[in-house]
Amino acid sequence: MEASLDTSKVNPRTEFLENYAKVIGSIISKLESGVYPTEATTCFCGSVHPGHQLTSRDRYMIPHRMVICPDCSIIRANPRMTAAAYKEFYNNEYRPLYDGWSYGHSGVESEQFDTFKLVQDAKGGNAFVQFLDYFNLKPKVVVDIGSNLGGMLLPLKERGATCYGVEVYEHGIEYSREHGLTMFHTIEEVVEAGIKADLIIMQDVIEHLTDLHEMKKLIPLLAPGGYLYIYTPGLFKMRKIHALWQNAHTYQFCSETLNYVMERMGFEAAFRDENIDALYKYSALEKYRPTTPPKEWGVYIMEHLRQVPKRRIPPIHCINKFDAETQFKTMDAILGMKFPDLDSLVKASSGSALVVGGGPSVGAEVETIRRMQSEGSKLFVIERMYPWCHQHNLKPDYVVVLDSSDDVVEGFTHIQPGVTHLLGASCHPKAAVMLKDAGASCYVFASVNPYMKPHDLWHKHGYEKMTVINSGGSVTLSGYSLAATLGFKDIHMFGMDLKIQVS
């Protein structure tokens, strides 16, 4: 008996892939025939250089040439589809191309697609609410630019915020309105309606713009003190380089190139990282300092794109593990203890200083440290090395206290008399209390933090001066900065061991 093949049944995955290929083929055909016309572009920075080519096709092999500007390091499409062509593309192929892959290959029926997409976007909205909570932001009026089906707005609406969406995708507008959201086609319509937003959301939008100067349209939409949230796929967060390139993306940013654009538009970063999750406030362009194109970042970008095995680490931005509310409460508690500001010690010293961190190598340097201290060098140690000094019969001249973690108090089991303790205003309050109760000599300073403005707290507690130290995100590095601030010129570092692992 011969086996027969039932051709009446088609594998859903095979059918999906065939349809998917048709979508890609349609886009390529429209580009080649001129149905989707393209045009040459110039760089945002004003450079006349056409840019150095990075790729000629996107991740789906659709013709899409991306270049990097040698004068500002911004990556852009050159040439790219016209704005009119992109509008047609977003209404015809964009969703089947990019959202279709997420659900179609799993066999999800087309009529269920919107529900699945809405659920996924709502999950992203919940995560976004947690992000806002970190900064203690509770907006009352929210406008989401590029809101799609409105999923990002749902958790904010449930919190009581008045929410509006702006979308070019007609189906997204209709679907959102059916689910109770007020929708607009353009930013201009929102402005004309007199809406002022405490928060504007631009998630996965700025990389799609054909003209970055359109960001200025948001200025009249922001309420005084309002925030603009931007998410765009951060270049340095992408490990699969080929996945960077999408024909829908006219730009590709790292945090530094995005910040250059935003500053040129008159916005100032309240927070940014390499993810990129960024919060901006409008700072009035005419009052804001001129910006310099981040030309030097081209080296970091190219090494990353080429996946050079041994490459330079750029000075990236990241997030503090303690949220803004916790940091403010900590500083309020520390400043309330009325320790004198570090100002009286600035440039009061000279000579040699030893800065000791907690790396494994420091164990082999005890005798060297002892000898150099006996020869007149002043000893700076981080708070966690305070007991280590007691163990090795060393008396530090200065102890740097910066860490906010609970276990940092373990460093103050042996508080030595005659030692000067330099306290970051964000250090753990329990450590400060232990020092105060012991009658220890203490001075307080502020760390550089571009996302927090602690001046009001210092004024609240009667401080006339606030000394700011560049901590570099490390207690040991802050020890170096403090030694230099106090006037020491010859600074030696021990135990600053680094291990970089890339997976």
pLDDT at 117: 62
What is the per-residue DSSP string for 315-351? Answer: ------SS-HHHHHHHHHHHHTTTPPBGGGGTT---S
pLDDT band at 453 (very low <50, low <70, confident <90, very high): low
332-354: pLDDT as tens digits: 999 999 999 999 999 999 999 99
Whole-number average pLDDT of the chain: 87
pLDDT band at 258 (very low <50, low <70, confident <90, very high): very high
pTM, 2 dp = 0.73
pLDDT for the residue 279: 94
The pLDDT tens digits for 213-239 are 999 999 999 999 999 999 999 999 887
pLDDT in tens, 97-146: 887 655 444 444 455 556 656 666 667 778 888 889 888 899 999 999 99
What confidence score (pLDDT) does residue 149 get?
82
More confident residue, 268 or 171: 268
Domains of the chain: 12-305 (3.40.50.150), 324-494 (no CATH)
**Residue in this structure with the two tokens 């000075």, named with its chain if needed:** 315
Cα distance between residue 492 and residue 469, in whole Å: 18
Q: What is the pLDDT of residue 16?
A: 64
Task: Determine the pLDDT at residue 247.
Answer: 95
Residue 351 β-bridge partners: none
The dihedral built from the CA positions of residue 274, 277, 281 and 286, taken in this order, carries a sign that is positive
What distance in Å separates the CA atoms of residue 356 and residue 360, rounded to the nearest whole number? 11
> 97 or 251, which is more confident?
251
